[in-house]
Chains A and B, each alone.
Chain A
């Protein structure tokens, strides 16, 4: 996958091997962060990266693992070059391993050029502010946590919750209203997920007929753990090429970031670094940012990178360092709820902790509809109140509630049953907002405090034209 430089030097001076790391002695002129080739005693080639150079010593992480390496005969080749990916339009429709080698048995891809996978920081002054509404067909997202082109939005899931299905559904249905070329190119990066999950995505992509506009990078659960640190970088490099060089709108799906963070912790532990919260390294925020911040748009360039990041919250704990640090970097989050899942609500999105920070830029009269912001605020206010009352009713019983309270309670149930729960239906934004007005129908004008009277006058009484559920 790489174009190697000519100045390759080979060393056979391994001092010791520990965990995923290899310590090389007596080297000179090593470049920090350069990519290396490790030749095992059996002659197998493995790729690695320099993590630290200290005088004559270099610390190398070996992506494919250190099993089978020895001190005496293992050789390391240094070429002074950063890790690169051969990029080209031939990547579309193909499947690669976590380091970017084709694994689908097809012909070699013909790279147009070789890009550094580490990526560079985008100049904030060159960024275009993302503001194009993406219709995902999911009411809880389109109506209340709107996604825009160039946004990075994670799905905070739990083990056993249908995050994969939701992201596949979004990938299949996502469209930009009014855009001529509606389709996204999808770059899919599997990070330590199982064969079952990976084949679910592959089948879904094949069934939706979009294989030809998909690039897949697979590092599965039984693939080398440390390679997982490379996989998202490789995938994002492919995405940057397709977006900013070729002008495509790219949707990148990274799943599951929890596995990535665990690989990061493994390397950090092997280096005997001072651990941060729950043993994750103190630089995990910066490391995650170096991936997530590669989403976006560039001024005067076509194309965009939208990231949909799936992560499983260990024990459904949103304060765990992985979702916590992610939430501080991404532009909002979609949170799945085990309780809603048990109730059979699909997708089980808990809208209260969910958020889209770029929503305001993507909605309104010229983008979705002029009542969008106000209706969304009103739904939130009533639903939050209803949820509070559920707790209260569990203690004091429904009899103690006032008439207004009972209405709020009924609203929360109605909202979950009809608005959030939509099965496989693909709803337009019009349908979503009309459905919202239908839910607000029983409530008096004076109680719709978040909606201006003029908006009420213009939209009151709307109902979705078609049946909203499948």
Chain B
């Protein structure tokens, strides 16, 4: 029988109960008459401190608190893709239904209960094992068509091994057994505690990139499959647009998008756009590969803390099936603030900027759940790539969340307020950002042999331009040598015609790797040709008005299937025009 205690204290999202002697840390509890969901976060003598995932207004001292004797878990199985959940995996669209109207109850009321995955829906289970086969944790038992194009693999849950004794193929709901391993019935759905990492055989080295179709990312600061990225930026620098662009275009099989303490309307935008957009990899709607976890800024703060773990566990589940999952968290600062708020209510000794002293270890736990792995139970590889947006107060990167994240992530895309103000998007600053993944060899082998060399040229030129810029600020452009003036011309081409990319333009939003390569090659060619004629005595001012520069600026409009042809034609024109000067 479950234990019942009594509520003695309520202050915001943190409440205290007594009389729960068997309660364990991180057990799920039900608080008050409406049975609000809560989690045990501290044990102190006979007092159990609980963070409540719902609004605590109206809770009364003396009310009952019930220990469920299990930690917070998520439901894993077919039916996750395309769904929208809150931070503790309650599906949001069914919560809005009332009196037969889809949006009859647009506000989230307290104590609403609903299963994460629908129990009445049936799925066609196609077994891939036979009776007598010996299986263990992670073995694929069968498949289910989760969406028109996605094959969901039903796995033996961790902890179960033995030989298959019975199989029931065909239509089944997620909680009906489909395979028996020994005496153990296995259904399509399994549960997993969110705060616990799902097991894998071993981690793999990150040596292949996650292609995003964004020039500044793929060319300058690429990320590895299974890597971790942190994107800090003040408000208005385009964190959300950047994450949404990744969600739309990145070459991942499954996207888990966590709106953690952010705006409601941003999720609405995803919900409106993604079903209409086509996934270029499958031809199906983009929503079919997407799972949204929405815990907006006005939703309960403790559930914001949980939302990150809920999303991560779901991403790991698809990784274990052998897929590349991409987890986007917008924003980890709001998550850290939720930690801070709960910590403050617990009257813990604050660390830097009021954040609890365990912030760095919690962040490390989060980022380290990213990775490419060899999956349990077969010859599959899967990955979780993690992207964490950071919202530094006052756009000051010296604050704790940015600093700790920077230390943990392999890629740092610094979004710059000044670039954003001049509408240079993506506002990823080329000298403040970095990538620690060494992916040059992959690009050299798969796109063009001189990819990495060309990339270095671009980075160096941008660096050189910045140095010269500071000279000009002090002494004017007159002091520059003619070839130095050309650096400005090339820097401008790189910044405006290559690094800038419109997320809202149909053609430009996604730039394939060969187009990225050709665009950069043309800019370099223009610069080097110009350099030759300038070294021979031509005034660089005369080059600034060449009409071919406008054509370079429009390379972004090239249709992907004409890139080779267009590049060859433009190359010839550049040489002709420049040498004619």
Contact = CB atoms under 8 A, between A and B. Distances in A.
Do A and B pair up? The answer is: yes
Given A54-B8, A55-B9, A31 B296 contact: no
Interface in B488-516: 496-497, 504
Determine which residue in B240, B299, B473, B547 has the highest number of CB atoms from chain A within 10 A of its CB, and name it. B299
Nearest to A360: B504
Contacts of A28: 61-62
A277 B478 contact: no
Contacts of B474: 395
Task: Give the size category of B's interface with A.
Answer: 35 or more
Contacts of B62: 28-29
14 contacts: A52-B11, A121-B107, A122-B108, A273-B344, A276-B340, A276-B353, A282-B354, A299-B103, A320-B394, A327-B236, A328-B235, A328-B391, A353-B236, A397-B476
Contacts of A361: 269
A33 B300 CA distance: 15
Given A121-B298, A392-B472, A329 B354 contact: no
B340 A293 contact: no
Nearest to B110: A120
Interface string A120-159: 1111111111100000000000000000001100000000
Contacts of B337: 282, 285-286
B297 A353 contact: no
Nearest to A58: B61
Main secondary structure of the interface of A (DSSP, over half): mixed
Interface in B77-130: 84, 92-93, 95-96, 101-103, 105-109
B59 interface: yes
A356 to B, nearest CB: 10
Given A52-B11, A299-B102, A124 B422 contact: no
Interface string B41-65: 0000000000000011111111000
A330 to B, nearest CB: 8
Interface stretch (B259-267, B375-383, B428-436): B259-267
A426 B268 CA distance: 32
A293 B296 contact: yes
Interface of B: 8-12, 16, 55-62, 84, 92-93, 95-96, 101-103, 105-109, 234-236, 240, 259, 261, 263-265, 267-269, 271-272, 294, 296-301, 334, 337, 340-341, 344, 350, 353-354, 391, 393-396, 421-423, 472-478, 496-497, 504, 541, 544, 547, 549-550, 553, 557
B272 A129 contact: yes
Interface of A: 28-34, 51-55, 80, 82, 118, 120-130, 150-151, 244, 273-277, 282-283, 285-286, 289-290, 293-294, 296, 298-301, 319-321, 324-325, 327-329, 331-333, 352-353, 355, 357-358, 360-361, 373, 377, 380-381, 384-385, 392, 395-397, 400, 402, 404, 445-446, 449, 452
Contacts of A353: 236, 421
B7 to A, nearest CB: 9
A31 B58 contact: yes
Contact of A125 (B96, B475, B477): B96
Contacts of A324: 235, 393-394
Contact of B340 (A244, A282, A452): A282
B296 A126 contact: no
Contacts of B96: 123, 125-126
Contacts of A385: 422
A308 B416 CA distance: 27
B301 A332 contact: no
B301 A283 contact: yes
A32 B423 contact: no
B263 A446 contact: no
A454 to B, nearest CB: 11
A409 to B, nearest CB: 14
A32 B58 contact: yes
Contacts of A320: 394
A358 B344 contact: no
B236 A332 contact: yes
A121 B299 contact: yes
Contacts of B294: 124-125
Given A282-B337, A384-B422, A400-B477, A298 B103 contact: yes
Contacts of A452: 557
A33 to B, nearest CB: 4
Nearest to B84: A125
A129 B267 CA distance: 9
Nearest to A127: B268
A320 B393 CA distance: 9
Given A121-B107, A384-B422, A400-B478, A373 B473 contact: no
A276 B109 CA distance: 30
